[in-house]
Chain A
């Protein structure tokens, strides 16, 4: 006689509330919502640009409204959180070997932050020159 009756542990839909690691993962995935919103804002701006000067200026006015400023502030925070998590993940996918020994993940991450700082400063500097009519 077989007395086996394995009990199946079904996953609940709110499994991600079980620990802080899962919650941080879900927060990381949610940064994509603001990536989507920002991409659509850019597309909206491009659409306004194609409609001529007055439509572009009215898009600019909407962007200056308090609501849109808040959206951009949240978007910037969310995106910076994405940057942090992205720099945690990439050293695990790309192992860097130096003199036949693996470079520590923290060093790969640090070099990414360095590159991030340089790229951000260059883009912002170019934008300042460009917006000043250079």
Chain B
């Protein structure tokens, strides 16, 4: 369950940050617990495919200060306590989307979640995805789904470069900008019980991305995306739980995108029923048919 961050006054945070910088220079890494003397018990879910039948929990004692992130903590564990711990990470600034883990049961980016917000800590791989090893999830199914919905601008006929770019007004940009902020971290899939129930569900991020292109004034590909949205695996698996939007670190609001997709799909259904539109009623897509 989400806990309210115990916010420090800015001056104090800055002070810790400055002291931390000195620590880094002295080769202590970015965990400055040695300075403050505070440690926290951190339970990490482990799964080593070559020897474990199922995941198990391992306890570590991690020193921390006000600016120690969960990513700092797992890096401390790997460097000082157990070098076999595996996890994905990259940018440390909440934009690459690599370090999504379950933190005390809530899908979060480890780089922007801080130990000071917790009494104890339990870290696991993202829920609903297969576990590859330790905190590493197998997200290839999610990547396939992103490809499936054709996440690029589709034109009926491309105009030559000499005719210039496709212009867009700020108002036209505003229609989809929010849905284009996704960093593909997968937190929304870990939050979605319908994806947990049915892994075939295209899911929050892919459907939000489809909506992003359907809402783009430069795009003419809505009719090729609608067959995917129209299916049971498309928008119709969603029951508007809304937790995807709650955990999204970029405020994309995938639940809004999907449910606007339901409205679009219902209109498409009606138009096809009375013969005013001719959307394909069935399409196949997958790794094998990539070059269709």
Contacts and interface: CB of A to CB of B under 8 A. Distances in A.
**A–B proximity contact (CB within 8 A):** yes
Interface string A4-40: 1111110100011011111001000100000000000
Interface string B237-281: 001111100100000010110011011000000000000000000
Contact of A100 (B47, B49, B174): B174
Contacts of A19: 1, 105-106
A7 B49 contact: yes
Nearest to B241: A25
A102 B174 contact: yes
A61 to B, nearest CB: 40
A1 to B, nearest CB: 10
Interface residue range, chain A: 20 to 34
Contact of A21 (B50, B170, B197, B243): B243
Nearest to B260: A93
B8 interface: no
Nearest to A4: B49
Given A3-B50, A19-B105, A9 B255 contact: no
Contacts of B1: 19-20
A15 B239 CA distance: 15
A19 B138 CA distance: 24
A107 interface: no
Given A4-B49, A93-B263, A9 B128 contact: yes
Contacts of B242: 21, 25, 89
Contact of B171 (A7, A20, A29, A100): A100
B17 interface: no
Given A89-B259, A93-B256, A93-B259, A22 B193 contact: yes
Interface centre among A20, A93, A102 (most CB of B within 10 A): A93
B132 interface: yes
Nearest to A101: B174
Interface residues of B, number: 34
Interface centre among A11, A29, A94, A101 (most CB of B within 10 A): A11
A116 interface: no
A113 interface: no
Contacts of A29: 239
Given A6-B138, A89-B240, A92-B256, A18 B49 contact: no
Contacts of A95: 256, 260
A15 B196 CA distance: 9
Contacts of A18: 105
B127 interface: yes
B135 interface: no
Contact of B49 (A6, A11, A16, A101): A6
A111 to B, nearest CB: 18
Nearest to A92: B256
Interface of B: 1, 47, 49-50, 54-55, 105-106, 127-132, 138, 170-171, 174, 193, 196-197, 239-243, 246, 253, 255-256, 259-260, 262-263
18 contacts: A3-B49, A5-B50, A7-B55, A7-B130, A9-B129, A19-B106, A20-B1, A21-B242, A21-B243, A25-B241, A25-B242, A25-B243, A89-B240, A92-B253, A94-B263, A95-B256, A100-B174, A101-B174
Given A16-B193, A100-B170, 7 more contacts: A3-B49, A7-B47, A8-B130, A92-B253, A92-B255, A92-B260, A93-B262
